[in-house]
Structure 1
Amino acid sequence: MILKQATLALALLAGTASASAMADTTTYQMDPTHTSVVVSWAHFGFSHPTATFSDVKGTIQFDEDDVSNSSVDVTIPVKSVDTKVPALNEEFLGAEYFDVAQYPDATFKSTAIESTGDDQYDVHGDLTIKGVTKPVVLHATLNKAGNHPMANVPALGFDATTLIKRSDFGMDQYVPDVSDEINIEISSEAEAAQ
């Protein structure tokens, strides 16, 4: 779930860059301190628990003249998963879920980016979790593109969402009582590489 979120965030950054008024192809680095990846699922139909991932890193290449030339490459350290329930965190790190000892990172690499409307983008890419790679589409919204007031460099800000099935990545414990579908929400800032 976390990996999926992380991939959504990277794809979203690439899509948002196309709406910016920046020249030529620009390389942006995602800011881990201003990147939020939140996943949620249904628990027996009673509630929708959440988990977050932190320290997400990624690179976005953006071509303002042709968004199809843009790309996103993101890495999410799975060990950063936080459900606010210590026992569940440990379970998620184990072999039946993320198997962090063997697969410490989840990754997302874009394969195509398309504009779907004003400041709206679909970022197609390959999400890899636990050694399994599946195609995913991130639905991204560009929040803002311009000079960052603190860093004084060009920057992008976006939100993105996607829905994945955890069973596609070998994590099907307790399905269907605990939902197979995982909702991923990403919000991030990315700054032009120095």
Structure 2
Amino acid sequence: MKKVFSLLLILGLSLPSMAQSSAMVRRIFLGLPLDASRKLMLEQLRSEKRFHSTDTATTNSIDIFGEAYLGLSTDNGVVKINPDSLEVELTWGYSGVLSTTRKKSDDYTRDLILKLRYYYTSPADAEAAYNGVLQLLRGSTRDTSTSGIDTIFSDSPIRSQLKTTGMQFVYHHPWYTVDVQFARITKDYFGLFLEYNRKEKYPY
């Protein structure tokens, strides 16, 4: 009995490490290694010919804040309507509640954030691309909610016009979220914005 219990305990402990983001979500995010370390994802973005970096910042300045990536992609993934351009961004953020009794490293967890921004001059094309991705994700989780940006407070005349509406999908085992948004960037420019967010793995 003890041997059986030990075996089950070992199997139970190994299950979380085997959990992966769904195959459809990985396809939507261009087949990038969503469950891998930040380092591996960065290596793939920097080495594959379908990605082209547009970040003019120096490597050292990026490393200080946790390595990031900004570039363009020639691979549209599951989106069948060709955009004017597709921007790819790998970035990060912190989540948690500040405590006066615990160390900062215990109170905060770092989030890995991968963004895809499909830009269109046609609102119909952007909306069709948006609806296509929603259709792929509907039914993949019961946890959904509306999401959107009403206005971004910015000195930029373009960013200050940005408004988005969309859906957020929340997954468990492992935990991550996927945001799908239809963006009205200006009166003549539109977008499909996708965001994948999960807790950062160590080492980064």
TM-score, normalised to structure 2, is: 0.30
More strand by proportion, 1 or 2?
A: 1
Bigger share in helix:
2
Q: Which has the larger radius of gyration?
A: 2
Looking at both structures, which has the greater relative contact order when contacts are Cα pairs under 8 Å and sequence separation is at least 6?
Answer: 1
Q: TM-score when scaled to structure 1? A: 0.31
